[in-house]
């Protein structure tokens, strides 16, 4: 009985050492360019306006870029239309 406990502990320790999983060698990379980066570059003309104006212009540009990729999406069409109206009202 006195030898069973240390033997059992030794077996558990040895068994737990083999559970290490090999780490991935390749590090994942970020996408080439996101929609937000493209949109913020195109909204540079609104940089002199208010903060909310810049936010609406950026969101509108992101929505327009997404709409270019999926032109049949009616939800995106409605979003672009509403953001156009917000930008027209807020930024002028």
**Residue 85 domain boundaries:** 57-92
Q: What is the pLDDT of residue 44?
A: 45
The verdict on residue 74 lying in a domain is: yes
Query: Are the CB atoms for 46 and 54 separated by under 8 Å?
Result: yes
- Per the structure, the count of domains in the chain is 1
Query: Are the CB atoms for 63 and 79 separated by under 8 Å?
Result: yes
**Cα distance between residue 10 and residue 5, in whole Å:** 9
Helix 51-69 vs helix 74-91: angle between axes, to the nearest 10 degrees?
A: 150
The verdict on residue 79 lying in a domain is: yes
32 vs 82, higher pLDDT: 82
20 vs 51, higher pLDDT: 51
The verdict on residue 5 lying in a domain is: no
Total-model pTM: 0.47
Confidence band of 83 (pLDDT split at 50, 70, 90): very high
The verdict on residue 63 lying in a domain is: yes
The verdict on residue 62 lying in a domain is: yes
Q: What is the pLDDT of residue 5?
A: 80
């Amino acid at each position: 009985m006195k030898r069973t406990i240390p033997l059992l502990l030794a077996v558990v320790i040895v068994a737990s050492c083999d559970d290490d999983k090999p780490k991935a060698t390749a590090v994942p990379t970020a996408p080439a360019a996101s929609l937000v980066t493209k949109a913020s570059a195109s909204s540079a003309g609104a940089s002199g306006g208010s903060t909310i104006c810049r936010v609406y212009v950026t969101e509108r540009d992101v929505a327009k870029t997404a709409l270019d990729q999926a032109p049949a999406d009616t939800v995106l069409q409605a979003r672009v239309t509403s953001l156009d109206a917000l930008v027209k009202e807020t930024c002028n």
